[in-house]
Chains A and B, each alone.
Chain A
Amino acid sequence: MSKDQYILAIETSCDETAVAIVKNERELVTNVVASQIESHKRFGGVVPEIASRHHIEQMTITLQEALDESGLSLDDMDAIAVTEGPGLVGALLVGVNAAKSVAFAKQKPLVGVHHIAGHIYANRLEKEFEFPLLALVVSGGHTELVLMREHGSFEIIGETRDDAAGEAYDKVARTLKLPYPGGPHIDRLAAEGEETIDFPRAWLEDGSYDFSFSGLKSSVINTLHNAKQKGIEHKAEDVAASFQASVVDVLSTKAVRAAEEYGVKQMIVAGGVAANRGLRAALQEKFEAVDTELLIPPIHLCTDNAAMIAVAGAVAYNQGHRAGWDLNANPGLDLELYSNRTKLSTE
């Protein structure tokens, strides 16, 4: 590259208003995240209309902060990238329309990015990709094993058939009367407890890389209910440890098996649940015995941010992908369709 390339990205798919700038595809320049979590806590979850209201209030402030931190101007940017989906439609709309406006005002190319492609690409800020690779995506809305044979190409080899892992965490946390968001609380309690209850593991059919967490969730709720009727009390720490053991066991076992079957060079862990210490530890242990390099990004890159959108956006941009002024928020955007689209635009 003769000249440095800068991509500015916007991410507003859920409850974080985020803007980042990335240089030459994988050097982080600035990564600003305005979290709304405090204002959703009282409702016990993200309220879409309130999230959208925060996004529009924070959008230009966050953009300004990112530019100030970087010392760059919009004229220095080569393209504007934005999360086009999946996510909350009203939240996505603020980011998409903001990105279109920056791009139109400054006459810059515009690139739409899939949120999960972003989560996977967050890892490229830490380590260069080596193909083929697998990504284990675990978050509040997703549990997927994604195979990448080259840049911009995503094949889903396994996904959840019911709840996402993060969803199961939130529901079990609610049963244990833990505050929102429940995932980190369960992780913390699990570290103090012991696996005293043998919760089921949903392995599904032989050779399947799909997941299912609704049975586990029901089992936790039923076990607690039955114990209460018999006057037995389980320690919350032990329930958390037993629940987490089941989730982590299934996720890490399937990840290792897939890594071996597909002979991948790297296994990437991505998404908010990748911040879970129990999961990180189990994966580290299991991958010691395998020839695949395990990559887990630092926690601030696991949760939603715009740096990951900038990295994935840079790849799409350099592969020739461009969005038109009619770019829309796409709350149900399919990863494989997105993958094909990137491929088509290069042909």
Chain B
Amino acid sequence: MNILAIDTSNYVMGVAVVKDGVVAGEYVTHLKKNHSIRLMPAIHSLMEETGISPEELDRIAVAHGPGSYTGVRIGLTTAKTMAWSLDIPVVGVSSLEAVARQGAFFDGYVCPFFDARRGLVYTGLYKENMELEKPEKNVLMEDWLNELKDLDQKVLFLSQDISVHEEMIREVLGDRAVLPAFPYHYARPSLIAFAGAEMEAGSVHELVPNYLRLPEAEAKWLAQQKEN
């Protein structure tokens, strides 16, 4: 089975080709550069290098959020439309789970997060077997850390934005917080392929981004409706 994996949900852009469970190639960058310009050339060159033509693909796995709204849509539009064109299954893997899998061998909880500005983060808490201990949400980092304070195990924090929140994490969790070296903080696209390999695929039309947040205009509108 040939799987193409795509992740453009945050600054990390990742593409992987996995052939019969073996990673044939991976392309990862961590740059503040336009995913829309660079994604398809990356897919093109990686598939060429690994000798896979589009019609030889059996499945596409994509990180479907949370993350940058636009970034999530670029990856998901590409994955969905390619899968639709080729008439093959497409599956969405949580962008947070993709990062959490970098800590799959950690003895304790794994907490991946993305900075969502104004003190907020997208996050969730994973157990070693990649099951969710606490569901993914958009939350103030301070509130979230207080929620994690009383856990009985160590917590591995993984994030491309680790430096933004490092101080507060150490302050609230003390030595129960584990912050590894930088290569562990970025999702590897082959892990998305791995996670998506066995997932049951629904209809391509029904795969939608996991934004974890309403558009600002809609949130305001709903608040106004409540007031009236």
Interface residues, chain A, CB within 8 Å of chain B? 42-43, 47, 49-50, 52-53, 56-57, 59-61, 63-64, 74, 90, 93-94, 96-98, 100-102, 104-107, 324-329
Contacts and interface: CB of A to CB of B under 8 A. Distances in A.
Given A60-B204, A60-B205, A74-B85, A52 B73 contact: yes
Contacts of A57: 208
A94 B71 CA distance: 11
B174 interface: no
B74 A97 contact: yes
B25 interface: no
B76 A56 contact: yes
B76 to A, nearest CB: 6
A343 B37 CA distance: 23
B14 to A, nearest CB: 16
Interface centre among B37, B40, B81, by most chain A C-beta atoms within 10 angstroms, is B81
Interface residues of B, number: 34
A50 B215 contact: yes
B216 interface: yes
B108 interface: no
Nearest to B39: A97
Closest 9 CB pairs of A and B: A101-B81, A105-B85, A325-B40, A49-B215, A98-B81, A97-B77, A47-B217, A101-B82, A60-B84
Given A47-B215, A97-B36, A59 B85 contact: no
Interface in B84-127: 84-86
A94 B73 contact: yes
Given A50-B215, A96-B36, 20 more contacts: A43-B221, A47-B218, A49-B217, A50-B218, A52-B69, A52-B70, A52-B73, A53-B69, A53-B209, A56-B76, A56-B77, A60-B80, A93-B70, A98-B78, A100-B78, A101-B80, A105-B86, A325-B43, A328-B37, A329-B36
Contacts of A328: 34, 36-37
